[in-house]
Structures are given as structure tokens and as C-alpha cells.
């Protein structure tokens, strides 16, 4: 058995915060949602949960420090399951609630994204999550915004209050499963008898029988409706970030938890500005005289016009940086920069006067030979 501190990658003297941080990192890395069907990851995930549970308990930690694995009931001889030290995946997921806070530890823009929700694993019935995408302009990303989105989702039928039964009547207990929603079937197989528990075929797991169905929802207890939902978008979000609105997805019938609403953010491309992380890239075309002599130009930024100094001797292709004129970083006061790539325009048609002046310049500057990085011809 591996040393518990080693499993979490911490020192013997690690504080509780350090333990928690270490465990959280390992749990994220080996989370089954990110490692589907990976037995090794699952093993590491479990191992870390067990190590954390033992070390986070002062009493157990002291015993472990003194007696090793046997002290916390994890010894090879110590018998499995003693003191609850061997965890099932369900145990670990229920433990997440307290460590990560919330039912969706990995499912929001501040986390890492994931697949199945914990609720599905803990076994309670939950209606389907909904996904929508929300288009954002740069200005929304700059300032954060509140948007109202319209979505179609299953709503509890108001006529029957989700029961599915006609007004004035009530659902009765399903006769086949006696209200439990589940039936046991004994199956004969080559290996002998086995008992299989399945959803009741008559009531589909609800445990209820509806004699007179509600006419608004045909007995389902739910209706499809369009609802408006306010979404508070924090500043600094990026393409692909998403937010989980708890219980704002489909509503289920009676006894079923509402699903969640996942709002994915989508950036509308800007006509001129190009986003690169928190920086914004823009091209500016200037004339030869401006590049040679230097100038001050007015440039658009996402929060209005700003002035930019062109130093004299500006080369075509060089980039000027306007600090703090980019986009904010999520959950931070940092703002990126605006990068202006300077393109010096070479005129393709000249007036007579301009042509004379260029000729004049040419005579003054002398040498006709191009330079090849000082290479001798
Ligand atoms: Zn109804
Ligand atoms: Zn039934």
C-alpha cells in the first residue's frame, strides 16, 4: 500500500488547506468524467479520496502517523470496509459536495467542464439538462452584461400541478409495483436464479397510476413552454466558456428534480478587432511621411477612440502596444493590451508634384544598391 502523503504528493506536515488543494488537483485530473473507462484513473481517483479522508480527520491522521495503514483500518490485513475507509464511487461523489461546493464541481466556467452530473450517479431522478448558446459582442465581454434568453423547456403542467391527473382526481398507487416504481424479476439462467430490479413497465418508475389523465398534458405532468431567463454574464468570458444555471433546465413530473441549464458563450467575430486571449489585434495603415517623421494618430479601441503616438522611423510590420486597451481576464482586474500592427502604405500612383519630390529625395539619399544584410555581392 502506498504512503497516504505520497498519494496526495504532500509533506508529512501538510496543512489541511494543502491537503485539500492537493486532493482537489488529483481528483480533477483523474475524474471519471475526464477519463471515461480508464480503470487506472479510477483507481487513482479512489486512492486519493481515501487518502484525503484519512488525513483530513485529525484523529485518523494521528493514528496513521503512529501506526501506519493499520491505524486507520486500511492495512492489508485490516479487513476491507472497516471504519468506512474503502470508498465506492458514490461515496466519493457525495463527498465532493462538501469539498468542491455545489452539485456541479466541474461544470461551470470556473471549473473544467465535464459530462455526467453527480446527481445522476447518486441515483435520484433528474430531468434533462438543457444547453443553449449565447452570442456576445466584444463590448459585452469587456463590461459583462445581463441578457435575457428565450428557451423552450419542459414545464410542470399548471392545470394538474405536475400530477398528470385530471382536475379533481388523483393518481392512485400503481397496482403492479404497489407504488415503489420498481419490480423484481426472477430470471433463470445457466448459472441459476438471479433477481433483477427494473423500472415498473406499467408506471415507468413513477409508482402511480393515472385513471383520468389531465387534458392539458395528456397525463405526462409536463408541458413544453417558452420561458425567458436572465443570464448574468461576467466580464472576460471566452468562446467555449459556459455557465451552469442550477435547476433552470427541463422540469420533470412529480418527484423529479429539474435539470440544469448550460449556457455556452459564443463570441461574435468583430469586423476589425481580432481577439488573441486578452489582447486585441488591429492593423493601422499609415503613410510614408508619418512613418518617417512620426505622428500621432487616432485609433479605435473597444471602449472608444484613443490616440497613439507613432515614433519617427516607424518600420512597416512593427507592432505598437497600447497597454490596458484589450479585454479583461475572467474574474480578475487585469486587462490585456491592444496591439497595433503598423503597415506603411507605399503609394502606387503619384501626382506630378509628389513624383518630383520623390526624385529629389532619391538624389539626396544617394546609394542605389539594395542591402542584403551586409552580404557582399
Ligand atoms: Zn396536466
Ligand atoms: Zn408501477
Find the ligand nearest to 159 CA.
1
CA of 182 to the centre of ligand 2 (A): 6
CA of 171 to the centre of ligand 1 (A): 12
265-316: pLDDT as tens digits: 999 999 999 999 999 999 999 999 999 999 999 999 998 999 999 999 999 9
Tell me, yes or no, whether 40 lies in a domain: yes
Q: Which pLDDT band, with edges at 50, 70 and 90, does 171 fall under?
A: confident
Residues 130 and 245 in one domain: yes
Find the ligand nearest to 154 CA.
1
CA of 3 to the centre of ligand 1 (A): 58
Written as nine digits, the cell of 250 is 427541463
CA of 260 to the centre of ligand 1 (A): 22
Residues 96 and 160 in one domain: no
Residues 9 and 79 in one domain: yes
52-66: pLDDT as tens digits: 888 888 888 888 888
> C-alpha angle 282/306/315, rounded to 5°?
50
CATH code, domain with 281: 2.60.260.20
Q: What is the pLDDT of residue 310?
A: 97
Top pLDDT among 205 and 341 is at 341
CA of 183 to the centre of ligand 2 (A): 8
Tell me, yes or no, whether 375 lies in a domain: no
Find the ligand nearest to 174 CA.
2
Written as nine digits, the cell of 40 is 487506472
Find the ligand nearest to 223 CA.
1
107-153: pLDDT as tens digits: 344 333 333 333 333 456 788 899 999 999 999 999 999 999 999 99
Residues 70 and 133 in one domain: no
Find the ligand nearest to 175 CA.
2
Tell me, yes or no, whether 370 lies in a domain: no
Q: Which pLDDT band, with edges at 50, 70 and 90, does 181 fall under?
A: confident
CATH code, domain with 98: 1.10.287.110
Over residues 86-100, the mean pLDDT reads 52
Tell me, yes or no, whether 10 lies in a domain: yes
Split into its structural domains, the chain has a count of 3
d(CA 194, CA 40): 31
CA of 201 to the centre of ligand 2 (A): 7
Domain that holds residue 218: 125-171+210-266
Whether 100 shows a pLDDT value over 90: the answer reads no
Residue list, CB under 5 A from ion ligand 1: 157, 159-160, 214, 216-217
CA of 128 to the centre of ligand 2 (A): 22
**Lowest pLDDT segment from 34-43, 159-168, 237-246:** 34-43
Tell me, yes or no, whether 314 lies in a domain: yes
Over residues 22-40, the mean pLDDT reads 81
d(CA 262, CA 130): 6
Q: Which of 18-27, 35-44, 153-162, 307-316 has the highest mean pLDDT?
A: 307-316
CA of 180 to the centre of ligand 2 (A): 7
Residues 145 and 112 in one domain: no
CA of 12 to the centre of ligand 2 (A): 55
Find the ligand nearest to 181 CA.
2
Residues 41 and 166 in one domain: no
CA of 65 to the centre of ligand 2 (A): 53
Residues 154 and 219 in one domain: yes
8 A C-beta contact, residue 121 and residue 105: no
Tell me, yes or no, whether 203 lies in a domain: no
Find the ligand nearest to 169 CA.
1
CA of 103 to the centre of ligand 2 (A): 30
CA of 178 to the centre of ligand 2 (A): 7
CA of 209 to the centre of ligand 2 (A): 7
Q: What is the pLDDT of residue 146?
A: 96
CA of 169 to the centre of ligand 1 (A): 11
Q: What is the pLDDT of residue 72?
A: 65
CA of 253 to the centre of ligand 1 (A): 10
Q: What is the pLDDT of residue 319?
A: 97
Over residues 165-191, the mean pLDDT reads 84
Amino acid at each position: 500500500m502506498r504512503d497516504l502523503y505520497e498519494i496526495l504528493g504532500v509533506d508529512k506536515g501538510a496543512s489541511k488547506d494543502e491537503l485539500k488543494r492537493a486532493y482537489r488537483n488529483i481528483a480533477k485530473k483523474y475524474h471519471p468524467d475526464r477519463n471515461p473507462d480508464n480503470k487506472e484513473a479510477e483507481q487513482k481517483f479512489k486512492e486519493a479520496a481515501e487518502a484525503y479522508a484519512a488525513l483530513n480527520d485529525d484523529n485518523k491522521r494521528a493514528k496513521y502517523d503512529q501506526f501506519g495503514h493499520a491505524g486507520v483500518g486500511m492495512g492489508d490485513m485490516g479487513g476491507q470496509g472497516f471504519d468506512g475507509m474503502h470508498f465506492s464511487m458514490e461515496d466519493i461523489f457525495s463527498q465532493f459536495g462538501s469539498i468542491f461546493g455545489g452539485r456541479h464541481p466541474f461544470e461551470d466556467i470556473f471549473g473544467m467542464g465535464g459530462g455526467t452530473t453527480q446527481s445522476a450517479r447518486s441515483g435520484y431522478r433528474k430531468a434533462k439538462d438543457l444547453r443553449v448558446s449565447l452570442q456576445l459582442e466584444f463590448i459585452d465581454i469587456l463590461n459583462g452584461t445581463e441578457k435575457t434568453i428565450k428557451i423552450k423547456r419542459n414545464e410542470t403542467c399548471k392545470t394538474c400541478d405536475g400530477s398528470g391527473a385530471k382536475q379533481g382526481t388523483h393518481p392512485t398507487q400503481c397496482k403492479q409495483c404497489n407504488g415503489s416504481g420498481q419490480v423484481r424479476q426472477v430470471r433463470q439462467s445457466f448459472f441459476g436464479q438471479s433477481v433483477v430490479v427494473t423500472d415498473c413497465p406499467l408506471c415507468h418508475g413513477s409508482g402511480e397510476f393515472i385513471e383520468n389523465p389531465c387534458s392539458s398534458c395528456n397525463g405526462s405532468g409536463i408541458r413544453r413552454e417558452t420561458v425567458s431567463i436572465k443570464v448574468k454574464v461576467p466580464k472576460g468570458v471566452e468562446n467555449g466558456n459556459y455557465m451552469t444555471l442550477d435547476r433552470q433546465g427541463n422540469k420533470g413530473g412529480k418527484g423529479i428534480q429539474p435539470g440544469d441549464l448550460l449556457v455556452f458563450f459564443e463570441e461574435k467575430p468583430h469586423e476589425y478587432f481580432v481577439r488573441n486571449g486578452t489582447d486585441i489585434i488591429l492593423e493601422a495603415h499609415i503613410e510614408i511621411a508619418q512613418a518617417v517623421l512620426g505622428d500621432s494618430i487616432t485609433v479605435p479601441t473597444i471602449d472608444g477612440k484613443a490616440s497613439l503616438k507613432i515614433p519617427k522611423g516607424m518600420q512597416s510590420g512593427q507592432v505598437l502596444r497600447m497597454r490596458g486597451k484589450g479585454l479583461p481576464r475572467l474574474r480578475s482586474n487585469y486587462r490585456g493590451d491592444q496591439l497595433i500592427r503598423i503597415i506603411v502604405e507605399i503609394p502606387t500612383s503619384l501626382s506630378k508634384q509628389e513624383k518630383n519630390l520623390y526624385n529629389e529625395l532619391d538624389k539626396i539619399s544617394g546609394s542605389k544598391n539594395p542591402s542584403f544584410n551586409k552580404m557582399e555581392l
